[in-house]
Amino acid sequence: MDDRSRRTAYYLLAVAVTILVFTLVYNYGMGALENQPQPLYRSLEVVFQTFTTTGYGEDAGWDTLWMNLLVILMQLTGIGLILAAVDVFVVPWLRRSLAPSAPQRRPGLSGHVVVCGHTPRTDAFITELDARDREYVLVVTDEDDAIALQTAGYTVLVGDPEATATLENASIDDAVAVVADGADDTNASIVLSARDARPDVQVVTLVEDASLARYHRAAGADEVLSPRQLLGESLSRQVPTVVTADIRDGVPIDEDLQLAELTLAADSSFAGERFGEARLRERFGVNVIGAWFDGEFETPVDADEILTDGTRLLVAGEPTQISRIKQASSSRVRDFGPQQILLAGYGDSGQAAYDQLSETSSRLTVLDLEDHENVDITGEASDPDVLRAAGIKDATALLVAVGDDTTAIFTTLIARELNPDLYIVVRANDHAYVEKLYRAGADYVQSLATVSGRMLASTVSADETMLAYDRQFSVVRLPADGLIGGTIVDESVRTVTGCTVVGILREETTITDFDPATFTFETGDEVIVAGTDRAISRFEQQFVD
């Protein structure tokens, strides 16, 4: 029983008890005090007349003080019950009448995406859709949630996404795709309903348990995405190991060009220098696209910015160039013996990271709340005693892949306190916690919601190809219609959008060696651009027709 129904029941019970008590007392008073005995039904009528303010019939007035006081008390009680009835019945009715309501149908949509379910992952996905001016409708089951989302500016429809009728109300016949982001079993049911409503629509699902992906495909899903596994693999590549001297965590544009994200060590060859003084392009031949300072991405990098310990650079260049700058940015005092790595959390992301790290010569200790195969220590990752038992003081790196962001923050804080020299890599579930984790002491943080949103956007967008989901930056292939006849310098691409053109595709050929001031775009050209999500969105709004 909900709160409104409970209040109504309590009110009606109070009215019934009050009427019964007053009827019995009034009936007794008429016989004992007024010497006018009468049947109970006559006393009940007088009580109703009093409570409803319609009169008192033949009993008025009364000769005794006590009966007059009783009638006064009944009058006051009746007024109180009427006022209470206004609060119980009238006020909620007015609220329902005046409050905004979520629609159950969304006719007239075309070329949109039907998004079933609302999570931080779908928030990131909808942000990507908004940046691309792609229409969507968000289907949620709870009306109060739907009203709150509609008030926040979402295009919402309330209904059961597992019902064919709801999908039809979301104009599935004119949609480009259906995205299911609920529980794994619910998503499989949504796929079946979508196939019933429109067999040829593209259906994409997100799966929490990667082992259940086969059931989604059996139900008819075109794409089943497992961001947790991808993110676990990505995070493992950020953990310093003996084999990370190569550039396997770079994003290949073609065989002659890669993008990489580098973190400066305190004793690297140019830590402490100003960016302009470091002359990275002259020394290594790379193009520095941007850098993160205190969690904020800056592009282009100001020449006076100081390259401190932990500064992260986004660079583009040939594989050998990337390799040289990566070696220069890492510690000059390198321990090439086996590294001691602690992995906290053995869910899908943790298992994917374990599979990657177990291929190295590192000594790996796994910590989880539950005892599983490969789990060495059982306990809460944010417990200092558990971290000590896992060997945190002797560890060189910690990868945090727990399922709760608050726990991740506490784990990072305690780990940094117990081992100040520890390299900490963290998975954030919600993008809102990324900066908090950096402030807590993490060296590298990646958001599951961001990765999921990018994967979904790339999957349902026919006009772009995203080359990197799992980085702190985006690398996207886009049409260059808005640049035709101009150059990168003429259009002030970097100044206007904050992203960098790192490659141009012309007639199936990738051009990476070009002069931004003289290279003129032609019809049919596509560009490969790199930058933050916001920068990519600005580029699309400015230059993609």
Report pLDDT digits (tens) over 385-405.
Answer: 999 999 999 999 999 999 899
Per-residue confidence at 378, pLDDT binned at 50, 70, 90? very high
User: Angle of helix 65-85 relative to helix 40-51, nearest 10 degrees?
Assistant: 60
How far is 131 from 423, CA to CA, in rounded Å?
A: 34
Give 7-60 pLDDT, tens digit per residue.
888 888 888 999 999 889 988 988 888 888 999 888 888 888 888 877 765 677
Give the residue-averaged pLDDT of 146-169: 90
Per-residue confidence at 244, pLDDT binned at 50, 70, 90? very low
The region that residue 310 occupies, defined by phi over 0 for left and psi between -120 and 50 for alpha, beta otherwise, is: left
Give the residue-averaged pLDDT of 76-83: 86
What three-state secondary structure class fits 426? strand
The number of C-alpha atoms within 13 Å of 478 and in the hemisphere containing its C-beta is: 24
CB under 8 Å to 452, separation ≥6 — which residues? 121, 124, 125, 206, 225, 227
- Residue appearing with tokens 């949109």: 112
pLDDT at 463: 52
* Cβ-count burial 75-87 (b if 16+ within 10 Å, e if not): eebbeebeeeeee
Domains and CATH numbers, the chain: 3-98 (1.10.287.70), 113-225 (3.40.50.720), 242-329 (3.30.70.1450), 340-449 (3.40.50.720), 473-543 (3.30.70.1450)
Residue 247 has pLDDT above 50, yes or no: no
Q: Which of 495, 444, 445, 500 is nearest to 476 (CA)?
A: 500
Per-residue confidence at 6, pLDDT binned at 50, 70, 90? confident
pLDDT at 393: 92
Give 101-156 pLDDT, tens digit per residue.
777 788 778 889 999 998 888 888 888 787 667 889 999 998 888 888 888 888 89
Give the residue-averaged pLDDT of 417-445: 88
pLDDT at 421: 87
The token duo for 272 is 């402490």
The token duo for 438 is 């950096």
Residue 475 has pLDDT above 50, yes or no: yes
Mean pLDDT of the chain: 83
pLDDT at 375: 92
Per-residue confidence at 332, pLDDT binned at 50, 70, 90? very low
DSSP 508-527: TEEE-S--TTTPPB-TT-EE
Give 260-293 pLDDT, tens digit per residue.
778 787 777 788 888 888 888 888 888 887 887 7
pLDDT at 467: 46
The sheet with strand 312-317 has its strands ordered as 251-254, 257-263, 312-317, 287-293, 296-298
Classify burial at 493, counting beta carbons within 10 Å of its beta carbon; exposed 0-12, middle 13-18, buried 19 or more: buried
What single letter denotes the amino acid at residue 230? L
**What global pTM score does this model have?**
0.59
Q: Report the Cα–Cα distance between both ends of the chain, in Å, rounded.
A: 53
Per-residue confidence at 295, pLDDT binned at 50, 70, 90? low
Residue 462 has pLDDT above 90, yes or no: no
What single letter denotes the amino acid at residue 163? A
Per-residue confidence at 255, pLDDT binned at 50, 70, 90? low
How far is 333 from 265, CA to CA, in rounded Å?
A: 10
What single letter denotes the amino acid at residue 46? V
pLDDT at 245: 35
